[in-house]
Structure 1
């Protein structure tokens, strides 16, 4: 017995699943808000004022300065790609991995396990976005293989 899901559309292949209208709006709202968060509040300060980050947050001193800049670049690129339709699933998957690593850094290197809750929540949200946007991965693969 199968039940119809009115908020999703399927084709013959399960890999081409597309979310329904309401779910699509929720996803785009999350993608835009989180993309702007990563561009403006998370990655941007690491690139614009990296010296003040190391002065104000002692846990940032435990990682090399070049790695801090690299993380800022990855966060800004992920935030931008999260708002590009063809790259949204790939960006969400990458940001999910990045936030899990950030949670590990908070828990084990900075010795503040309570601070790992926020990055883990973000990782779950990004994993959900990547799952819902999985059809863009097959579209991207098809585009690149031409």
Structure 2
């Protein structure tokens, strides 16, 4: 994998750690209520994002973990996009999930052979 891909992988890993930790704070409670999801789902989503971020970062040393981390990231961002569609959010709410989805899909593609 090239240098640019590794930089994307590291930045994406850090982003998923950041957003995963946010899910454990009170500020996301109202959002998940607005989405119609139970409280436990916010913690579950945060845990999945933390695992994804950790796998992406650990993928620097183990490409198999990068493959799993990028797959989890793709699935999580697909869920986020579906959620924003479900609650009829404005287009600006889609920017971050779409960018993260595209970057995650790119890394997943690069790591397909590492499962």
Same fold (TM over 0.5): yes
| Gap regions ≥5 residues in structure 2 | none
Matches within 5 A, 1:64-143: 64-84=38-58, 85=62, 86-109=64-87, 111-114=88-91, 115-137=93-115
Matched, 1:59 2:34: no
**Alignment length (residue pairs):** 108
Q: Give the TM-score taking structure 1 as reference length.
A: 0.68
- C-alpha separation between the residues in 2 aligned to 1:126 and 1:45? 19
* Separation in structure 2 between the aligned mates of residue 33 and residue 113 of structure 1, nearest angstrom: 26
Contact 2:20 2:49 in 1 (8 A): yes
Q: Secondary structure at the match of 1:63?
A: coil
How much has 1:113 moved relative to structure 2?
4.2
C-alpha distance in 1, partners of 2:28/2:105? 28
Q: Root-mean-square deviation (CA), in Å?
A: 1.5
Post-superposition CA distance 1:18-73 (Å, at most 9, x none) = x4xxxx21111111111111112x000212x2x3322xxx4321210000000000
After TM superposition, the score normalised by the length of structure 2 is: 0.84
Q: Which has the higher helix share?
A: 2
Task: State whether structure 2 residue 24 is matched by structure 1 residue 43.
Answer: no
**Cα distance, 1:79 vs structure 2:** 0.2
Following TM superposition, the consecutive aligned residue runs of length 4 or more in structure 1 with deviations greater than 3 angstroms are none
Note the residue ranges of structure 1 that are not aligned, 5 or more in a row.
1-18, 138-146
Choose 1 or 2 for highest CA Rg: 1
For residues 70 and 90 of structure 2, the distance between their equivalents in structure 1, rounded to whole angstroms, comes to 24
